[in-house]
Amino acid sequence: MSETSPSIATTGSTKKLIAVQRRTRNLPRNPAHKLPHNLPQKQPHMLAHMTNHQQVTAKPMYILGISCYYHDASAALLKDGQVVAAAQEERFTRKKHDSSFPQHAILWCLQSQGITPGDLSRVAFYEKPFTKFERVLYQHLHSFPKSIKTFVTSLPSWLTEKLRVMKSIRKLGYKGDVFFLEHHLSHAASAFLVSPFKKAAIVTVDGVGEWTTTTIGKGTDSVIELFKEIDFPHSIGLLYSTITAYLGFSVNNSEYKVMGLAPYGDMNRRTNLFYRKLKSVIDVKSDGSYLLDMSYFTFHYGDRMPSNVLCELLEGPVRLPEADLTSRHKDIAAAVQLVTEDVMTQILKHAHDITKCDDVVLGGGVALNSVYNGKILSNTPFKKVWIHPDPGDGGTSIGAAMYVWNCILKHKRSFVLSHASLGPGYSTEEIKAYLDGHHIHYSTFSKSDELVKQIAMLIFKGSVVGWFQGRMEWGPRALGNRSILSNPQNPRMQEILNLKVKHREKFRPFAPVVCLEDASTYFDCNEPIPEITDFMLMVYPIKEKWRKKIPAVTHVDGSGRLQTIQRFQNPLYYDLIKEFGRLAKIPILINTSFNIRGEPIVCSPHDAYRCMMGTGIDCLVMDKFLIRRDENPNDMWDSEQIAKD
Amino acid sequence: MATPKATIIPTMIACLRKIKEALTVVGKKVSTVVNTILLGVIYIFVVGPLAIAARLMKKRFIQTEKKSETYWVKTDVGNKPVNRYYRQY
């Protein structure tokens, strides 16, 4: 199968990138990139004071946000303060967590609006490269001679690309202003400036930015102030990553596996021996500040994160990938989850004390810990919480661009990120052209009712369905546009999906999707249900009486990382869940990301078809087309050999 | 019938591309070796003396230990003059 991507240049050369831009300058905007038509429109108010003539002739202001070079490169485009396009680079290059300069994502963002780099008003970069380089050099000076290996392997990339961000941006053909924001400021902006709060406490926690690993601040209207920080090497994110590495998983990729493994261990603080041991590794003050005992870590000078001292403390060597997970490993996973929750609770309580805000926004990679997120409102004085759908480094491209619009250019806030459908979409004609061009057997639904009824029945009867609709989601979660859907009532479905479809570890749980109005029937949620359940960022207990009825989405501790959906957000998806509920009596589906293990979530029709044909997915629904795996035997292949992190 | 020019030139271009790919692979390996040696020399003869001098003067580049009632450090990120954001540091 040859890969064609009608909208995107796939060459690496930036000269070709500019040539493609010149050719596509006059292309009409692709109607597939429109938002769903029944989504409430949030109109910018900044043109309200102008005359009609001025409104007609006023040129929109485009701001491009970029993040790259560490993990999860991405680009985001604002038009007059509204996010109109955003995507991670990995989805185009098909390299998971691709960190290279996001030229494909940038090109797509520009093409989606029919503009060129010359039409951009400002560009924002998510961190200060020279400050970060200063920290790296200081690490080497501090750690001499132990850091020689990392010095020799990491310095070339600094000299050839990380310190030459301006050159990469100018190569796009953009000649205007470029803003460089602090890393944690970009996190804070991505969390606060697109939230529904006018005033909120801001807490950002990640591995490390330039020097900062944790911050507390406050946001009021368009003003963000960060008051306090904790600096490298003391980092709760790096503690979690170190234990992730110790347990044999890949860092910056598999922390969520440790989170999923934790409930299999001893989650009792009194009886978990490793909890007490890990508490000795970190000194936490009553104000939430903390200090790591660096004798247990090597990340400040080496490429291996846990030190031999930590291995002795945890009573064993680093686990080899794919080796068996013992009860000791599970208890260690539980211990690091408990320690992280303790520290985060202290930090949040202190943030509440100093900001006096009832609302809080979280940013940074640690905000992906959805098990802890589900406990924030019950464990801290905050009344409301909001988290960006991509709180990690990928989301900082939106944060950087929004900071320029709201805080530097001083525009009033007028945008709330109420949905994550910000990536590429494909029209019916484009999908049909792909299917016909590749001689794929498919059938067509004439009405959406017919599609919903038939697919709901297929899922009810045990089929695994690939669901490809609308615009690709922004962030690491599939939220109903690039999803694999199946029946959670089938007790074997978790095993089928893990082994035959996703080719991943058996212990990994699956997430449920439920209509918002039904959520409190099946889950013990906070009331009112936080909006961020739309982005699958909270884990809640499933009510006791339903656990045995939906075993495939009930984790070993009875919890589920639910996604809630309202009809205006995604009518077809919503109707499918309701129709399934009519058949199965419980309106909950399994929603897992549409990808092979080790690959990014699918982006294009080709990616989706390829994924289906290489796994145990029974059929694929793309727009109004149904493609069955067994009707296309010539395109079958086995993805198990390439499935790895 | 294809003219000799129509067949020879594409064949030559294909051959030159393959040679270029092979040279790129070799070049990358050579650059890895050269980089390793050069950077190793810089590490030992530049970073090393600076690190040793700093240790003799008890200068700490990273705070790994601290005795304090709080580990929070005050910061004033955000609300800076605009020209600050043009800088990469």
pLDDT for res A223: 95
Q: How many CB atoms lie within 10 A of CB B69?
A: 9
Q: How many CB atoms lie within 10 A of CB A44?
A: 15
- Identify the band that residue A625 occupies on the pLDDT scale cut at 50, 70 and 90: very high
pLDDT for res B3: 66
Is A405 within 8 Å of A373 (Cβ atoms)? no
pLDDT for res A52: 45
Question: Which A-chain residues 230-289 have CB contacts (< 8 A) with chain B?
Answer: 230-234, 283, 285, 287, 289
* Two tokens, residue A208: 């490390």
Nearest-Cα distance to chain B for A290, in Å, is 6
pLDDT per residue over A244-281, tens digit each? 999 999 998 899 999 999 999 999 999 999 999 999 99
Flag whether residue A177 sits within 8 Å of chain B, measured between CB atoms: yes
Q: Give the whole-angstrom CA distance, residue A83 versus residue A100.
A: 22
**pLDDT of A145 strictly over 80:** yes
pLDDT for res A645: 63
pTM for the model? 0.90
- Beta strand pairing status for A512-515 and A443-444? unpaired
Chain B residues contacting A via beta carbons under 8 Å: 35-36, 39-40, 43-44, 47-48, 50-52, 54, 60-66, 69-79, 82, 85-89
Task: Tell me what the mean pLDDT of segment A616-644 comes to.
Answer: 91
Q: Give the whole-angstrom CA distance, residue A155 versus residue A159.
A: 6
Alpha helices in A262-326 (DSSP H): 273-279, 308-313
Handedness of CA B37, B39, B41, B43 (dihedral sign): negative
Nearest to A227 among B40, B44, B74 (CB): B74
Is A388 within 8 Å of A365 (Cβ atoms)? no
Contact across the interface for B85 and A140, Cβ inside 8 Å: no
pLDDT per residue over A488-507, tens digit each? 999 899 888 988 788 877 77
pLDDT for res A343: 98
**Residue of A488, A510, A519, A495 lying closest to A589 (CA atoms):** A488
Percent of the residues in chain A that have a pLDDT greater than 70, as a whole number: 91
Beta bridge partners of A563: A513
Residue A214's SS3 state is: strand
Nearest-Cα distance to chain B for A389, in Å, is 23
Nearest-Cα distance to chain A for B27, in Å, is 15
Q: At residue A120, what are phi and psi to the nearest 5 degrees?
A: -70, 140
Nearest to A138 among B61, B76, B82 (CB): B61
Nearest to B73 among A156, A224, A231 (CB): A231
Q: Give the whole-angstrom CA distance, residue A615 versus residue A71.
A: 27
Nearest to B82 among A128, A129, A408 (CB): A408
pLDDT for res A470: 97
Q: Give the whole-angstrom CA distance, residue A627 versus residue A443.
A: 7
Nearest to A287 among B72, B75, B86 (CB): B72
Task: Tell me what the mean pLDDT of segment A366-376 comes to.
Answer: 97
Flag whether residue A392 sits within 8 Å of chain B, measured between CB atoms: no
Q: Give the whole-angstrom CA distance, residue A295 versus residue A81.
A: 47
- Identify the band that residue A19 occupies on the pLDDT scale cut at 50, 70 and 90: very low
Q: Give the whole-angstrom CA distance, residue A33 versus residue A87.
A: 13
Q: How many CB atoms lie within 10 A of CB A416?
A: 14
- Angle ∠(A301,A305,A308) on CA atoms, nearest 5: 95
Q: Tell me, rounded to whole angstroms, the distance of Cα A534 from its chain centroid.
A: 13
pLDDT per residue over A74-122, tens digit each? 999 999 999 999 999 999 999 999 999 999 999 999 999 999 999 999 9
Nearest-Cα distance to chain A for B58, in Å, is 11
Distances (CA, A) of A166 to A86, A175, A179, B19: 21, 10, 10, 33
pLDDT per residue over A285-308, tens digit each? 999 999 999 999 999 998 777 899
